[in-house]
A and B are shown apart, each in its own frame.
Chain A
Amino acid sequence: MSASRTRKVLWSFTALGGAGVAASYFVAGAPRFWANWTVWFLYLFTLALGALFLVALEHLVSARWSVPLRRIPERVASLLLPLVAVGIVALGALPVLYPGAKPEAASDPVLAGKAFWLGVPFFSVRVLFCLALGLLPLWILIRGSLRQDRDRDPRFTIRARRFAPLCMAIFALLVTVAAFDWIGGLDPGWYSDVIGVYLFAGAFLAGLAATTLAVLSLKGQGRLQGIRFDHLYNLGGFLFGFTVFWAYIAFAQYMLMWYANLPEEVVWYQAHLGGLWLGVALLLALLHFFVPFFALVPRDAKGDMKRLRWVALVVLAAHWLDLYWLIFPALGQRPLFSWPELAFALFFVGGALLWLRGAMETGEDMPVGDPFLEEGLEFRL
């Protein structure tokens, strides 16, 4: 398929999805529309933050092997720009889905006590602040990296390494606040300290999987010359390791709440594991842990392009299922899945792919100004 034809197909998918998204608001109702919107906002937000984390991690630990690959997560992280608009629209979900921001919250003594934090004004301020704060690392790390392509100034590398620790703090704040607000806010009586770490695990996996897919697709087009088995192996190793991390965190949260059996904690699991949601949760465990884990156990599999491609696709699908499982039980006891969900998927996946395709055509495929590029290309396991 030629590039312009792919572009046209993507545009038509996005337009079709957009029509479905608009229709779902009137046909399927506002709560379902906003639940879908929140899921997709968080999906792309965490995915972009995960990619940003990969970039910042490289600067933080002065990694050399990933220098030739760095432009890819940088481009994925650029999704944070259009996501500002998506996030602002998502504020519409507050009075519909979030009990603490609903008008009737004032009559609930518990929610009234938390009105300042959960109410629409401060909630919105927080979201806007986080969206803006996310652009700061984008500005410093990614715009600087693009500029280094032209001026080949090694001082950027030093600046990026100095900024990386702060970027990590920003990243931790954004992911934690996003988890507490958008996921915890659906059930204000529920307490879980680890939900931020849980979302981080999913975010990093999603960013990593998107990066891996983009690398493989560019390699399929004959670009990214010099990226070998050794580089892919490291990406695969990261994917492998963080599936375990995600499972560890997910199970740790579940087991502690299951054991303690405190009403304010366990009620959340009753909603999320009750009825058909149990099936969704089991599918999530399968797709988010068991399938990627066992697919990537053999040594050669971690650098095998075919294997990596489908594992990355499974991980990306599992991250959507994860957010679906976190958010949709707020709508009721039965998992809702039909054309509105598909329309949202078409719209957001199509839109994100259009943006990423544009980003992939911009500038060099590798940070050619980075003084460690050569060393990164020579990397061997």
Chain B
Amino acid sequence: MSETFAVLGLFDSADALMEAIPKVRAKALGRVEAYTPYPVHGLDEALGLRRSPLGGMVLVMGVLGVLTALLFQWWMSAVDYPLVTGGKDPSSWQAFVPIMFEIMVLFATFTAGLGMLLLLNRLPHWGHPVLQSQAIRGITRDRFALAVEADGAFDPASARSALADAGALEIEVLPVPAAGPMFTASFIQRSLAGIAAACVVSGSLLYWAIKLMPVLPPMVHMENQPKLDPQESSTFFKDGHGMQLPVAGTVARGFLPFAMTTPEQSAGLVNPLPRTPAVLARGRAQYQVHCAVCHGVLGDGVPTLTAAYGAKPANLHTPAIRAYSDGTLYGTIVLGKNAMPSYAADMAVDDRWAVVHYVRALQRALNAKDEDVR
């Protein structure tokens, strides 16, 4: 005969069960457990079940949730990417409270639900031995079972007599069910085959869904705007260009009107900007936006648009151009030269002078003297 899991005694009322519990527990034959068709008040105390640790777990996780949300938001909004919203200090605690509350609830409820199911009740259960007893039909209907479960050295005969003394109407000895191994070769094979089949089916469904149906963007926040982007054509303006020259007779902010129509007039101008790292950085940025497409990032006239552009842009390192005064360079930006158009409409005055500084720096870098390297 196989090993005994438990001895079950059946009672016909909750009161009879409650009376029997202390008598059976007093004999200390094994773990005493009750199986009833509905919750019976006072059963937990009678069985001497320990208080569930779930409340403590929920408290700890709730507090952790509050702290997590606080730290997370503080780090994101005040440290990593400070954003001023509504004129508030990015580290304002008031704004964090709703999220702290929500995350506290999230952590606490997940702990309560999953902790109860997985940790404390050890689900998923593949089956409980009592479910295979003869008595289970009665237990789920109108009978109250008291079980003495094997716990170490166990004597079914004395458990049987203890239950009989306590007034059990029927007694059943329940053997430990023969448990098959869970992870058999065929189980693993079938699981893998199932996963593979699911991948193939869902993958092909997705492929054909995207292929056959027009792909609609799920959310178009502000992607489609009626504004004109640079280089776009326009049906609004007569010439069909999206980009327009400033209206004649107007002066934009930051653009000083400058009565300069010939290179000679500009030759004597002096660069008003100091030669500081900030100015050079600005000049470099402007140069790379406006100049580098033709003159090359090094200013050597090797453009990034060689294939598309027929003319030959100037090499800024020739002795002739190096001999230009700052004012002449400035004038070239404003007036253009040969195939080069005027950049007066695209670059602010300070940007032009910053570019002049940067071009000088490029020239100096390719024609460095010994003391520059030292």
Give A residues with C-beta under 8 Å from B.
Answer: 251, 254-255, 258-259, 261, 297-299, 380
Contacts and interface: CB of A to CB of B under 8 A. Distances in A.
B95 A259 contact: yes
B97 interface: yes
A300 to B, nearest CB: 9
A77 to B, nearest CB: 32
Contacts of A255: 94-95, 97-98
Contacts of A261: 86-87
Contacts of A380: 41-42
B55 A298 contact: yes
Interface of B: 41-42, 51, 55, 59, 86-88, 94-95, 97-98
B319 to A, nearest CB: 64
A258 B55 contact: no
Closest 4 A/B residue pairs (Cβ):
A380-B41, A258-B94, A255-B94, A299-B55
A172 to B, nearest CB: 26
Nearest to A244: B101
5 contacts: A254-B94, A259-B88, A261-B87, A299-B51, A380-B42
A380 B95 CA distance: 42
Given A261-B86, A261-B87, A380-B42, 16 more contacts: A251-B97, A254-B94, A255-B94, A255-B95, A255-B97, A255-B98, A258-B94, A259-B86, A259-B88, A259-B94, A259-B95, A297-B59, A298-B55, A299-B51, A299-B55, A380-B41
B209 to A, nearest CB: 43
A255 B51 CA distance: 39
Nearest to B58: A297
B223 to A, nearest CB: 29
A236 B279 CA distance: 70
Contacts of B95: 255, 259
B56 to A, nearest CB: 9
A380 B43 CA distance: 12
Nearest to A260: B86
Contacts of A258: 94
Contacts of B55: 298-299
A96 B323 CA distance: 87
A258 B86 CA distance: 10
Contacts of A259: 86, 88, 94-95
A254 to B, nearest CB: 7
A233 to B, nearest CB: 14
A344 B195 CA distance: 76
Contacts of B97: 251, 255
Contacts of B94: 254-255, 258-259
Nearest to B62: A297
A228 to B, nearest CB: 12
A374 to B, nearest CB: 16
A254 B93 CA distance: 12
A289 to B, nearest CB: 12
Contacts of B86: 259, 261
B63 to A, nearest CB: 10
Contacts of A298: 55
Contacts of A297: 59
A261 B85 CA distance: 12
A131 B97 CA distance: 39
A380 B45 CA distance: 13
A265 B55 CA distance: 40
Nearest to A298: B55
A297 B62 CA distance: 12
A262 to B, nearest CB: 11
Contacts of A251: 97
B18 to A, nearest CB: 13
A297 B108 CA distance: 13
A278 B282 CA distance: 49
Contacts of B51: 299
Nearest to B55: A299
A75 to B, nearest CB: 30
Contacts of B88: 259
